[in-house]
Every structure is written in C-alpha cells, then in structure tokens.
C-alpha cells in the first residue's frame, strides 16, 4: 500500500526563518551604514556580503524601498567603480521590482484589513525588523537601532524592538531603558511598558518598570503618554498614529510615576539636573544616593547583584538615610562603607543572603 503521508521538514523551515530574519537584520544595518557613508573597511565588508548570495542583494533592495532609501543605493555604483557599467542597470532593475512588490503588499493589506492580525503582520512586507535584547543581572548594554536611535539597557532588562515603515515600537517587558530617539517625523517611536504607551519623535527619556508602576524621566524634548489598549499593543499599525493632544505630556526635566492599574493620580513633577544625574548614574556603573532610606537604597543596590539584603528587625535601621556613591555590583565595598560610615554590620545567612544589623 502506498503511503501518501510524508513528514514535513519542520527543522529546515525553522532554519530558513532564522536565516531570513538574520539577512533582514543585516540588510537594515547596511542601509543605516550607507546612509551615513561607509568607511573603507565597511565598503570591503559590504562587497563580500553582497557576493555571498543573490538573496543578500534582493533583501537590501527591499529594505531600501521599504525605508524610502533608494537614493542611498545609488551610491553603490561609486562604491564599485570597476563594475559601474554592469552594476547600475542591475540595481535599477532590482529596485523597480522591489518597489512593485512593496506596493502590491501594501494594497493587499489596505483592501483586506482583516489580514492585519498579529500573526499576519509579523510575516508581511510591512514589518522591516524585529529583534529582542536582554541583559543579565549587573549587566548593561548599548544598542544602536536601525534608525540610529541609541538604546541603553540597564541591569536585568528585556525588550522587543519592532521597526516598520510607519512605526517604531519598543516593548519593555522587564527592567529599565534609556533611549535617545533619532528624529523621524514620519514614524513615531513608542515605548510600551506596564500598560502605557510612551511616545516621542526626537527626544531622550528613561523608563523603568517596577512592580506596580512605570517611572518615566524625560531628559530632552517632550513625550506623550496614554493607556495602552490591548488591540493597540497587538497591532503596530495603530501605533503609527500620533497620540492625541489630550494625552499626558511630560517635558525635559520632568518625571512621573505611571500607575499600571489606572487607579492612582499620575502627577508630573519637576526634577533638577542633580536628581536626574543621580537617577541615571547607573550608565557609568555607579549608584548615587541623596538621602534615601536604608531600605530604599538596599532595594536599588539589590537590582545589580544576585545577593539579597535583609534588614534586622531594629527600629534604628529605619532611621538611617544613605548618601554617597557606590559601584554597582561591589558588595564588599558596600559592606565596608556601611560599617565605617553608618555603623551597620552584616551576617551572611547563605551564599546569596546577607543580614544587615545596627551596631550602635
């Protein structure tokens, strides 16, 4: 009997999807580099990358058309003068094909809005790149995004970054980020965090997700904030629209604690340059305290190490306020300062637990 059931090569499909995503990310990176002019070493590297596969060239053209960067590719003839006669017609031909394909995809989605579900959107030509980044406890990382925005992840953070033709979306699922947003009036940049949409065009701000709140500090420019509806989070095309004028506005030198439950009043507060520097001192590997309670300081210090600190049941510990600068992750240095400056001793309960006690 003939068996008409054949196994589907799932592994090869997964591998192809990974290769497609990698090629798309590499092409987006090359477009960004071409936009600001290549170094001699980068020019040689691009030559090698294009020569590796015809799909590299096709993907580069698709990304350029999607980001309206076809004029950037016109410089390729100058980059490869020895093949100028042959290269220019090819690029023009591929550019036309990519543009036609892009328009066809957009028209299909326009006339069939039901296709704009999260699963369909993720595989459509609308989505240019999607990447995720994370840091371990005690680690920070700086990423230059495809539009040359700069994203800095603090300790134990996780983000998903989606860039499309109309929107730039960063979903902060855990931790803290500082972002310096590249100006792009055609595509707003939205940070999704704790049920809120934080949106900017060209500015810089810091976002930290806490248990029940999202702390937002604006260091440059202005942002708007609105409660994120479930359907907006699921559909990046909705996030291509600007938040309305009625949305909560936060400007340079201001901060706000955003309530994820929507039950508490969200007050925008002025914050001076010294307080901003203290709040963002983690960028240089330091923690600066300016009179926080011992409990608050210990909670912040614990974010940067696997060691968990516990306070003895002593009312005197509650009266201690901490001021000074500490290196993130330097537990021994911290304990030495506590001993010499605050008369606080410690007891190691286990490898990752330390009890703090007042010795006065």
Would you call 49 helix, strand, or coil by DSSP? Answer: helix
User: HSE of 231 in the Cβ direction (CA atoms, 13 Å)?
Assistant: 2
pLDDT over 70 (residue 48): yes
- Please name which of 274, 200, 30 lies closest in space to residue 177, comparing C-alpha atoms: 200
Tens digit of each residue's pLDDT (9 = 90 or more) over 187-241: 899 999 988 999 997 799 999 998 778 999 999 999 999 887 655 555 666 778 8
**Angstrom distance (rounded) from CA 77 to CA 83:** 8
The answer to whether residues 106 and 72 touch, using CB atoms and an 8 Å cutoff, is no
**Angstrom distance (rounded) from CA 144 to CA 146:** 7
The pTM assigned to this predicted structure is 0.63
Structure tokens of 326?
């500490």
Domains of the chain: 13-111 (no CATH), 128-273 (2.60.120.1440), 285-358 (3.55.50.30)
Q: What is the pLDDT of residue 33?
A: 77
**Angstrom distance (rounded) from CA 349 to CA 183:** 51
pLDDT over 80 (residue 116): no
Distance of CA 285 to the CA centre of its chain: 19
Structure tokens of 254?
């201001």
In this structure, the number of other CB atoms found within 10 A of the CB of residue 44 comes to 12
**Angstrom distance (rounded) from CA 159 to CA 347:** 36
Lowest mean pLDDT among 100-109, 161-170, 338-347: 100-109
**Angstrom distance (rounded) from CA 338 to CA 334:** 6
Q: What is the pLDDT of residue 7?
A: 37
Q: What is the pLDDT of residue 154?
A: 96
The answer to whether residues 203 and 181 touch, using CB atoms and an 8 Å cutoff, is yes
**Angstrom distance (rounded) from CA 57 to CA 319:** 65
Task: Give 314's DSSP letter.
Answer: -
């Amino acid at each position: 009997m003939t068996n008409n059931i054949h196994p589907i090569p799932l592994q090869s499909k997964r591998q192809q999807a990974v290769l497609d995503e990698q090629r798309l990310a590499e092409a987006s990176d090359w477009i960004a580099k071409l936009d600001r002019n290549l170094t001699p070493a980068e020019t040689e590297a691009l030559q090698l990358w294009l020569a590796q596969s015809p799909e590299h060239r096709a993907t580069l053209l698709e990304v350029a058309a999607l980001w309206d960067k076809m004029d950037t590719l016109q410089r390729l003839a100058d980059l490869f003068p020895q093949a100028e006669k042959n290269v220019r017609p090819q690029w023009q031909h591929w550019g036309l094909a990519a543009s036609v394909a892009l328009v066809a995809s957009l028209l299909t989605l326009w006339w069939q809005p039901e296709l704009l579900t999260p699963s369909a959107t993720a595989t459509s030509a609308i989505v240019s790149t999607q990447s995720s980044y994370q840091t371990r406890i005690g680690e920070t990382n700086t990423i230059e995004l495809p539009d040359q925005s700069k994203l800095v992840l603090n300790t134990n953070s996780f983000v998903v970054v989606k860039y499309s033709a109309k929107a730039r979306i960063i979903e902060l699922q855990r931790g803290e980020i500082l972002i310096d947003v590249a100006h792009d009036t055609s595509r707003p940049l939205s940070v999704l965090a704790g049920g809120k949409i934080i949106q900017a065009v060209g500015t810089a701000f810091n976002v930290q997700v806490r248990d029940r709140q999202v702390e937002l500090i604006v260091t440059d420019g202005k942002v708007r904030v609105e409660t994120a509806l479930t359907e907006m989070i699921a559909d990046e095309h909705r996030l291509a629209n600007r938040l309305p004028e009625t949305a909560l506005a936060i400007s340079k030198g201001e901060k706000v604690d955003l309530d994820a439950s929507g039950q508490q009043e969200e007050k925008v507060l002025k914050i001076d340059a010294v307080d901003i520097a203290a709040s963002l001192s983690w960028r240089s590997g330091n923690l600066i305290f300016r009179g926080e309670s011992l409990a608050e300081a210990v909670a912040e210090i614990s974010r940067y190490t696997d060691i968990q600190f516990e306070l003895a049941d002593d009312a005197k510990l509650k009266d201690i306020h901490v001021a000074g600068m500490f290196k993130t992750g330097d537990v021994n240095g911290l304990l030495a300062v506590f001993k010499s400056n605050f008369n606080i001793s410690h007891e190691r309960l286990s490898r990752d637990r330390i009890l703090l006690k007042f010795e006065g």
